[in-house]
Amino acid sequence: MAKPTALPIDHLVINVHRNLPAAKGLFEQLGFMLTPMGRHTMGSINHLMVFGDDYIEVIGLPADGTVGRSELLEGPVGMDGLVFKTNDADKTHARLDAAREPLLPVQSFSRPVELDGRMIDARFRTVRFESARFSAGRVYFCQHFTPELVWRKAWQTHACGVTGIAALLIVSTQPQADARQYAVVAGGVARRGAHGEFRIDGAGYSLVVVSPQDYRACFGALACDAHGRSSFFGAIALRVESLAPLRRILQDLESEPLEESGSSRRLHHSPHDAEYVFRDRGDRIAVSIPGAGALLEFIEAPAAA
């Protein structure tokens, strides 16, 4: 009998508060193609890094002080959203409500997309948990009514070679209990991994839950700050067919002064006052982006996340 798998990931979210233009530059310098800026009807603004079946959303608020979504300012800058796919937001809400999950009302919203000189609304409905349900960040389900306005070929090719999301690493002071909670919501089974981690496998990706000690031991100087939280999203693993394009990009960034500390290297790059810390282990390269509160690990397919 086949093992049950978790629901597919729709996208992951990196929240940059009011620093969206600078964050866009940071990711572009690493070889990502970002979509034109979108503006949600709730007031937030975003850029997407679109892959084959999923994407990363870099979200923020206008720099003019407008507050359309106060929840985006309540937590620290960084990785703060895990979003699963749903084909029917109402049915998903009913299923979770029947399981007595703490939910917010189904939310409908849109953002205009310019296509061939015309403005067309990309439309969505989301099912969100109350903020206390998952301390690591916002977890919700997204139904796309206009997926053709998101997954467009012109936006799916990245100079760094990324083809999709391989894993989300969740750091928790109680990894076993948290892994079970994610499995309840996402489906699948929380199982113990070869290195003591807990894993929930989906089709083509994994949610990996580890202790703060194991997280620091693995990533060292690249690790993100917990900001006092008992659980947080610690890294996003991304699939690439080859690490060669990313290595070339990092070499080009080394034109600025470079610091070395142990196995990691710190790059200072003048555009956008960019700073990156990276570590190359042969079959994977981890890159910390302090300005966006993000840690990305690029992994050659078909290596496990």
Cα separation, 19 vs 79, whole angstroms? 14
Give the domain-ending residue among 100, 123, 155: 155
- Residue 100 inside a domain? The answer is yes
CA 64 distance to own-chain centroid: 26
Looking at the structure, tell me whether residues 274 and 191 fall in a common domain.
yes
Q: How many CA atoms does the CB half-sphere of 183 hold within 13 Å?
A: 20
Tally of domains in the chain:
2
Looking at the structure, tell me whether residues 47 and 146 fall in a common domain.
yes
What confidence score (pLDDT) does residue 71 get? 83
Cα separation, 233 vs 237, whole angstroms? 11
Looking at the structure, tell me whether residues 250 and 185 fall in a common domain.
yes
Looking at the structure, tell me whether residues 85 and 182 fall in a common domain.
no
Cα separation, 154 vs 64, whole angstroms? 30
- Residue 3 inside a domain? The answer is no
Looking at the structure, tell me whether residues 146 and 183 fall in a common domain.
no
What confidence score (pLDDT) does residue 305 get? 41
- Residue 49 inside a domain? The answer is yes
- Residue 1 inside a domain? The answer is no
What average pLDDT is seen over the chain? 91
What confidence score (pLDDT) does residue 260 get? 54
Entry pTM: 0.93
Cα separation, 138 vs 275, whole angstroms? 27
Cα separation, 209 vs 176, whole angstroms? 8
Cα separation, 107 vs 120, whole angstroms? 20
What confidence score (pLDDT) does residue 303 get? 42
What confidence score (pLDDT) does residue 304 get? 43
Selection from 137, 71, 131, 62 nearest residue 103 by Cα: 131
Give the domain-ending residue among 102, 128, 155: 155
What confidence score (pLDDT) does residue 69 get? 79
pLDDT by residue, tens only, the chain of 305 residues: 456 789 999 999 999 999 999 999 999 999 999 999 999 999 899 999 999 999 999 999 998 866 667 888 888 999 999 999 999 999 999 999 999 999 999 999 999 998 888 999 999 999 999 988 999 999 999 999 999 999 999 999 999 999 999 999 999 999 999 999 999 999 999 999 999 999 999 999 999 999 999 999 999 999 999 999 999 999 999 999 999 999 999 998 875 544 555 567 877 665 556 789 999 999 999 999 999 999 999 999 854 44
Looking at the structure, tell me whether residues 132 and 223 fall in a common domain.
no
Looking at the structure, tell me whether residues 92 and 224 fall in a common domain.
no
Report angle CA 222, 173, 239 to the nearest 5 degrees.
45
Looking at the structure, tell me whether residues 129 and 249 fall in a common domain.
no
Looking at the structure, tell me whether residues 130 and 25 fall in a common domain.
yes
What confidence score (pLDDT) does residue 261 get? 52
Looking at the structure, tell me whether residues 168 and 240 fall in a common domain.
yes
What residues make up the domain containing 213? Answer: 162-300
- Residue 2 inside a domain? The answer is no
Q: Which two tokens stand for residue 136?
A: 């690591």
Looking at the structure, tell me whether residues 87 and 209 fall in a common domain.
no
Looking at the structure, tell me whether residues 87 and 105 fall in a common domain.
yes
Domain CATH for 143: 3.10.180.10
- Residue 230 inside a domain? The answer is yes
- The secondary structure element, H or E, covering residue 178 is helix 175-186
- Residue 305 inside a domain? The answer is no
- Residue 248 inside a domain? The answer is yes
What confidence score (pLDDT) does residue 246 get? 97
Give the domain-ending residue among 155, 188, 207: 155
Q: Are 113 and 121 in contact (CB under 8 A)?
A: yes
